[in-house]
Amino acid sequence: MYEDFVHHIWKYKKFDHIDLKTVNEEPVSIIAVGSHNFNAGPDFFNAQLKIANQLWAGNVEIHINASDWFVHGHELDEAYDNVILHVVWEHDTDIFRKDNSVIPTLELKNIVSKDVLQNYRSLFEQKKKWINCEADFADVDDFIIGNWLERLYFERLERKSNDIGILLNQSANNWEAVLFKLLAKNFGLIVNGDSFASMANSFDFRVLRKTQSKLLSIEALFFGQFGLLAHDEQEIYVLELQSEYQFLKKKFKLSQEGVLPLQFFRLRPPNFPTIRLAQLASLYYEHQFLFSKIIAANSLDALYRLFSVSTSLFWETHYTFDKLSKRRIKKTSNAFIDLVLINTIIPLKFSYAKYQGNRNNEGIISMMQQLASEKNSTVKAFNSLKEVASSALQSQGLLQLKNEYCIKNKCLSCRIGHTLIS
């Protein structure tokens, strides 16, 4: 038995509240259960009750056992002085105010619907596999799941927006600088995301601004900061990069301190960090004021055109500096651009609109519904229970569901769990 289940029972009145009485046989009428408090202090604020024909307005405290009041030290905390009702699963002792008057106690264990209790036990007490509700997930109405996933997606967006806000503060409100840091991490993918982010943080964005008119300079900056140019090479392109990087290093007092090493192991060649760095360099060479162009782009086609870039000529015959390969134009694929849009561009557009005071999210929803669902183990596992993810909006919602609700056993805060228990 979890205390949040008792919260759930009280909040949604999942008990027989006709002829309700306290443990001391005082009649209780619930006018308002109060506002659920998720911070310190009593569990429900501003409840309105009628107890023994006396109207009361105040707070309600919830426990599994009445004696938990003392276990939690509430008798010493002034925040609990105005508790008007103690709601417990089991009454095992009386609770007193400082003036020695008894706090009315409502015991729930004998008045909760057996169906609700059985559904709760089925959800939490069965032998778990992947998620608590996997045996019943397929039975939940599509409309309920769809609406919940949309809400979860915006919950996820808000979290990302808060992270972007931190970057914006660190960057003195320079949205272009924030965009570069986000894109760098995204271009590094899961394996090299932190390394790419460390590279982006190793110099002031103004350095990139001042090198943006020359592709070789941007490439030298990126490759040089990762220490990839310290080779005894005869290739003219590599020699030019080395020379350019030495010039940039001296001019801008560049340091490689804090830049994390790159990983190539178990990556397919098209995802080698060298290729992604070359593509990132091409993106910034081809598009001055990239942030403004992204904000102005109101369709996926416009965004695809922005992010469809190829590497410079050297990388058409190389995946690394030291090995020749068959010629191939290494252009950003639509699948890769989708990841950039989902993880960076759309959250950034959402954050900027929020920053501007624009709360119209229809464009965000439309774009995410047009983007195909991500393919990962979490989405695959949910779809094996019930086919629920056909768009990126839904797959992002499922990631939020798994990470913030299922793993944390927050079923009672989840629309799906709530439905199954009720």
pLDDT at position 119: 86
pLDDT at position 234: 79
pLDDT at position 126: 64
Q: How many domains does the chain have?
A: 2
Shortest CA distance to 286 belongs to which of 310, 266, 319?
Answer: 310
Residue 188 CA to residue 204 CA, distance in Å, equals 19
Domain limit, last residue, from 332, 348, 370: 370
Q: What is the DSSP string of 48-95?
A: EEEETTEEEEEEEEEEEETTHHHHTTGGG-GGGTTEEEEEEEE--S--
Domain limit, last residue, from 80, 112, 144: 112
Are both 97 and 200 inside the same structural domain? no
Are both 292 and 358 inside the same structural domain? yes
Number of CB atoms found within 10 A of residue 55's CB:
10
Residue 144 CA to residue 388 CA, distance in Å, equals 11
Q: How high is the mean pLDDT of the chain?
A: 94
Residue 382 CA to residue 148 CA, distance in Å, equals 14
Of the CA atoms within 13 Å of residue 73, those in its CB half-sphere come to 3
Per the structure, the complete domain to which residue 105 belongs is given by 3-112
Asked if residue 78 is part of any domain, the answer here is yes
pLDDT at position 183: 98
Token pair, residue 268, equals 């397919």
Asked if residue 175 is part of any domain, the answer here is yes
Are both 165 and 73 inside the same structural domain? no
pLDDT at position 393: 98
Kindly report, residue by residue over 285-337, the tens digit of the pLDDT: 999 999 999 999 999 999 999 999 999 999 999 999 989 999 999 999 999 99
Residue carrying structure tokens 């920053």:
355
Are both 95 and 162 inside the same structural domain? no
Which of the residues in the chain have pLDDT under 50? none
Domain limit, last residue, from 95, 112, 129: 112
| Burial classification of residue 173, based on how many CB atoms lie within 10 Å of its CB (0-12 exposed, 13-18 middle, 19 or more buried) | exposed
Are both 93 and 29 inside the same structural domain? yes
pLDDT at position 96: 87
Residue 109 CA to residue 87 CA, distance in Å, equals 11
Cβ proximity of 380 and 395 under 8 Å: no
pLDDT at position 77: 87
Are both 44 and 93 inside the same structural domain? yes
Are both 233 and 296 inside the same structural domain? yes
Kindly report, residue by residue over 160-218, the tens digit of the pLDDT: 999 999 999 999 999 999 999 999 999 999 999 999 999 999 999 999 999 999 999 99
Number of CB atoms found within 10 A of residue 234's CB:
7
Asked if residue 409 is part of any domain, the answer here is no
Asked if residue 334 is part of any domain, the answer here is yes
Asked if residue 406 is part of any domain, the answer here is no
Are both 159 and 52 inside the same structural domain? no
Are both 275 and 177 inside the same structural domain? yes
Is 329 in a helix, a strand, or coil? coil
Residue carrying structure tokens 């989405």:
379
Are both 102 and 161 inside the same structural domain? no
Distance from the first to the final alpha carbon of the chain = 16
Asked if residue 364 is part of any domain, the answer here is yes
Are both 218 and 359 inside the same structural domain? yes
Token pair, residue 127, equals 């032998």
Are both 172 and 297 inside the same structural domain? yes
Asked if residue 140 is part of any domain, the answer here is no
Asked if residue 397 is part of any domain, the answer here is no
Helix extents (H) in 253-375: 273-286, 290-296, 300-307, 334-340, 346-355, 362-370
CA quadruple 360, 366, 369, 371: dihedral, nearest 10: -120
